[in-house]
Amino acid sequence: MQPIKNRIDILDGFRAIAILLVLFYHFFSSWTLPYTNSPMYPYGDKYSYFKFGFTGVEFFFIISGFVIFFSLDYTSNFITFWKKRAIRLLPSIIIASIITFLFLRFFDTNNLFPTRRAWINFIPSITFLPPNLLNFIFQNKIQFNYINGSYWSLWPEIQFYFLVSSIYFLKKNKFIEIYILASVIIIIANFLLNNIKGANYFHLSLSETILNYHTHLTSRVLNIVVFIPFFSSGVLFYLLFKNKKLNIKTPLIVKCSLAFFILSAISYGNEIEIKIIYGLFFLLFFVFIYWPDTIKFFTNRYLLKIGVCSYFLYLIHEVIGVLLINKFSAYLKGLDFLFPLLLIIVLIAISYLYTVKIEKRVDKFLRNKLN
């Protein structure tokens, strides 16, 4: 078997692929019609080959399920776990929010992002709370938004952290059984509530009030129910990984549960291309666990560097990148596709320097202070 460290390094390679998918999606596809009412790229949809790049977020969710279970195995208690998560998440999102906010204030002269520029947007951005939940609480008297739209994916992460850490530290010896049961119940309940329309095969009937309440609840508060198959697949992939390392046979119920989570996740894709991409993500994890030598490419030093800085890169890229593309890409005329590529390289370099020179020092300082 490969040395354990090298195998874990492959996860940084996976993170690199996930963030690159998201970057190419945001810089070439997401701000074109029909995805937005006002196309923001000077090149329009001429290079819109990455319309499925948003699936990189779901890849992150699978990776997160694996890594968080790994982290729980090396964490002594609930409070320590959340200290680690806070140290990991909060400083970078505060810095990224400030940078993005100031960038918008000074450089968004064409008012491309009018809803992102209010001071009030720091509240959802650095608390991870969804703006539509805050708008509902304040009855739309105050309009909240994320400073950067990409921040939406952090709220499902927070919900997953709470679910998995609560179960783990309450019933550590029965964690897998309880977690699988909870995940299955969530997935099945969400499926039924999304598919019940009056009388049906199950002979169930719910009022429109209840169905609408479920829709509002999952969109405003508990969107974890949509993405739980991805997180849960990652959790069980870690168990497979751990059992293989320790030469422990994985119970059949765990394998069946993983199959259920994978099928549930793939069914989430509403186009065949998306289903295929999700399938490839899961295939990569099986290869990572059982045949790691075949994907050593993912330990390429450049991919590893991108993976290491992927969190901060994710936080700062979208609004700043799209704004710069809108302003400057047209100057390259027929080679306008080069500007986003150069921008990606620059953002990666900045994010890597931040991660190595600042984030790691802040992390060390806070760990010493909070221990």
Higher pLDDT, 20 or 206: 20
Q: What is the pLDDT of residues 38-74, one digit of tens each?
A: 678 998 888 889 999 999 999 999 999 999 999 999 9
Q: What is the pLDDT of residues 76-117, one digit of tens each?
A: 999 999 999 999 999 999 999 999 999 999 999 888 898 898
Q: What percent of the chain has pLDDT over 90?
A: 74
pLDDT class of 139 with cuts at 50, 70, 90: confident
Q: What is the pLDDT of residues 169-217, one digit of tens each?
A: 999 999 999 999 999 999 998 888 777 655 455 556 555 555 555 565 6
- Cα distance between residue 249 and residue 255, in whole Å: 11
Look-up: residue for tokens 């992002």?
A: 113
**Global confidence as pTM:** 0.93
How do the domains of the chain map onto residue ranges?
4-370
Query: 93: which 2 tokens?
Result: 């999102």
> What Cα–Cα distance (Å) separates residue 116 from each residue in 102, 146, 361?
11, 6, 30
| Preceding peptide of 42 cis, ω within 30° | no
Distance from chain centroid for Cα 313: 12
| pLDDT recorded at residue 217 | 65
Whether residue 221 contacts residue 133, with contact meaning beta carbons closer than 8 Å, is answered with yes
Nearest of 306, 343, 309 to residue 323 by alpha carbon: 343
Q: How much is the average pLDDT of 279-299?
A: 95
State the burial class of residue 217 (Cβ atoms within 10 Å of its Cβ: 0-12, 13-18, 19+): middle
- Cα distance between residue 16 and residue 9, in whole Å: 11
| pLDDT recorded at residue 187 | 95
The amino acid at residue 101 is F
Which residues are CB-neighbours of 177 under 8 A, at least 6 positions away?
Answer: none
Tally Cβ neighbours within 10 Å of residue 130.
21
- Cα distance between residue 231 and residue 268, in whole Å: 13
User: Chain-wide mean pLDDT for the chain?
Assistant: 90
Nearest of 332, 320, 319, 317 to residue 42 by alpha carbon: 332
| Strands (E) located in 35-116 | none
| pLDDT recorded at residue 2 | 41
